[in-house]
Amino acid sequence: MAEWLGVSRPAAELGVWLYGHVPRAAEEPEVTPTRQLVSGASLSLLAGLMLWSLLWNGYLGSFWIWPLLMFTPDSWRGTTSFVVAGWVWYAIVAGTLIVGFGRLGRWPELLRRIVRRPASGAAVVVPAAAGEGEDLAGWPQLRAAGLGEAAEHLVREAEAGRMSDVDYVRIRRAWESVRADAARLRPFEASVRDKGAGACLHPSGARDLPVRAARHDLLVRQVLLGTVDPGARTPYARRGTGFALDPAVLGTSLLAVGPSGTGKTGRLVRPVVESLALQSLAGQAAVIAVAAAGVQLGPDSAFDVVVRIGDPASVYDLDLYGGATDADEAAVLLAEAFVGDIPGMDVRRAATALGQLLGPFHTAYGRFPSVPELRELLDQRQAPLDALRQTLEDAGQQTMLRELDARVRQHGGPADPGHVLADRVALLDRPAFANFFGTSGQGRPFSMGALEHPLRVRIDLPERGHADASRMLARLLLAQFNASAAARADRSLFAFLAVDDAAHTLTAGTLRGVQRLRSANAGVLLALRSLDEVPEELRTPLLGAVGCRVAFAGVTTWDGKRFAEAWGTEWVETRDVTHRTVFADQPLTRAIHSFRKLVTGKAVTTDAVTVRQVERERWSASDLAHAVPAGHAVLSLASVRGERAAPLLVNLTT
């Protein structure tokens, strides 16, 4: 624990894996070729030996021994003392020649290059950067508040190996809540005294995930995705550095595009979900992962709630109305899910039609209709309509009766969305979903209203047998998340929704909701096989709405063009080299040139170098489609504070 807390985490730009990071210079230092260093060192050595030989043999006179004669007494001549002084002087002169010619021939640089060993996997000791010299392992914040005994207890727990990184961050998070509310001080102290490293537990009682598929640094809430490519097109300061994500960038939302099999799930979605699940155990986040049944986002024991829609063995149900109590709000969410993907369909008109049924039904029965009941009302079945009307009349609800009568009059009109809504509801009124979406209060429905709690939720969609229903439910979940995350009274928890397959889930309304998430301490991850899975009119707004963009290997040039436009251009320095043939005027020179051409097979030329500043795309569509190796992706990041990081090629396999 002390070793983990003591590792340096210096401030760096977005996306840098801070654990043990060693900052590098912004520009690559000029490196002299080894061959040139050897030549220079050899020439300087020969020159130094020649000068020493000339001095020693007296070819340059005896001026160089004048200091010896000047600073020694005459009585020393011919004595042993004079001989010793002479050898000392010769050593001084030789040493001066060695230093001078060594610097001239750059001997130290050559020696460093020769004896330098290649990087190995050995551990590197870096100075601690706990912040102004604080010993984080000693819990100085507790000691400063007068809880020295509690601090000592936690130190002993760590020394005994009973404290994990999740425990440390969770207790630290609990202490922050104590600072915000002094009434929590005594319960916090009692919990630490009684439970030690197990104090302030997550409601599930879990203190870690059953398995970790990625590397995490919970102290700064980062997950390591891979290593930045060390190639020439990568800025020198980022070459070979770790690439990581954290809530500061995920809060701007993330879009990932790549064909099937490129690693979107295993190398991006799962590590992000896993990181936020760990932060949930530490009381810092709430995460909801939505994927097709069978997609590996972690074992069931890694989540608090697992909703398997269409699976009779599922313990949890799904609240179709997202915990909404207002009929108009519920109608808007359902309209986005039911008809938001239909070109030309007015979502507001559909929301009005649904509201004309949900409002009266909720007023009459104190709940929203189940799926079969909603389908019957949309189909204008006479018996349920008469029963609803009679209940409203008995309760004297004239306003709701007018709403119901308006729906009956508009049914079947040329612009009426009722029949389309009924068809979409019919997708959920199937035997496979008979025990789901109940509103009677008998089941255990999960609602997005629970985002104010540090929950870990996984929702499995029946993509294989009910593709259209799955896409509709994904649209509904995204719309519900947008509404619930923005409506939270307590936004201290980071709320995140990861959609492993976001094909046909985006609408104009949900896209506007995604744009508002960054101010609500929330974000989404949307994974697509291609931008063609998004309506054409939404492709450019989608790339503009998210702050983090990921293009995996194998994207098409059409998708690459959209990313290239989103990433813009930059000024780069180009060098144009022009080779010009040299024509000699003198006979001797012409003969030499002819001989050289005969030997080398090339004419004698001169090079003209032109250096220019030009504006080029950071990544062109062709580069994204053809120059990204397998297992790699090009990622750009932005933070909720407005910082931006240029797109980088990242190796996701290391």
Nearest alpha-carbon partner for 419 in 378, 372, 384, 469? 378
Residue 118 has pLDDT above 60, yes or no: no
Buried b (16+ CB within 10 A) or exposed e, 365-384: eeebbbbebbbbbbbeeeeb
Count of structural domains, the chain: 3
Give CA–CA dist 137/171, Å, rounded.
12
Residue 408 lies in a domain: yes
Nearest alpha-carbon partner for 417 in 329, 509, 347, 336? 347
Percent of the residues in the chain that have a pLDDT greater than 90, as a whole number: 67
Residue 440 lies in a domain: no
Residue 11 lies in a domain: no
pLDDT (average), residues 343-371? 94
Give CA–CA dist 197/155, Å, rounded.
9
Other Cβ atoms less than 10 A from the Cβ of 461: the count is 26
Residue 254 lies in a domain: no
More confidently predicted of 125 and 169: 169
Residue 547 lies in a domain: no
- Alpha carbon distance, N-terminus to C-terminus of the chain: 25
Other Cβ atoms less than 10 A from the Cβ of 210: the count is 10
Q: What is the pLDDT of residues 582-611, one digit of tens each?
A: 777 778 787 777 767 766 777 778 778 888
Domain end marker among 97, 115, 133 = 115
Q: What is the pLDDT of residues 64-90, one digit of tens each?
A: 888 888 888 888 887 888 888 888 888
Residue 77 lies in a domain: yes
Question: What local confidence, expressed as pLDDT, does residue 599 receive?
Answer: 64
Domain end marker among 427, 443, 469 = 427
Residue with tokens 């293009």, as numbered in its chain: 551
Question: What local confidence, expressed as pLDDT, does residue 112 receive?
Answer: 83
How are the residues of the chain apportioned to helix, strand and coil, as percentages rounded to the nearest 5? Answer: 50, 15, 35
Residue 384 lies in a domain: yes
Give CA–CA dist 596/244, Å, rounded.
56
The domain containing residue 61 runs over which residues?
34-115
Among 43-57, 163-177, 236-250, 417-431, the minimum mean pLDDT is found in: 43-57
Q: What is the pLDDT of residues 474-492, one digit of tens each?
A: 999 999 999 999 999 889 9
What 3-state class would DSSP assign to 402?
helix
Q: What is the pLDDT of residues 137-180, one digit of tens each?
A: 999 999 999 999 999 999 999 999 999 999 999 999 999 999 88
Residue 534 has pLDDT above 90, yes or no: yes
Mean per-residue pLDDT of the chain: 90
Q: What is the pLDDT of residues 185-239, one digit of tens each?
A: 999 999 999 999 999 999 999 999 999 999 999 999 999 999 999 998 899 999 9
Domain end marker among 115, 136, 162 = 115
Q: What is the pLDDT of residues 427-450, one digit of tens each?
A: 999 999 988 888 877 778 999 989
Residue 99 lies in a domain: yes
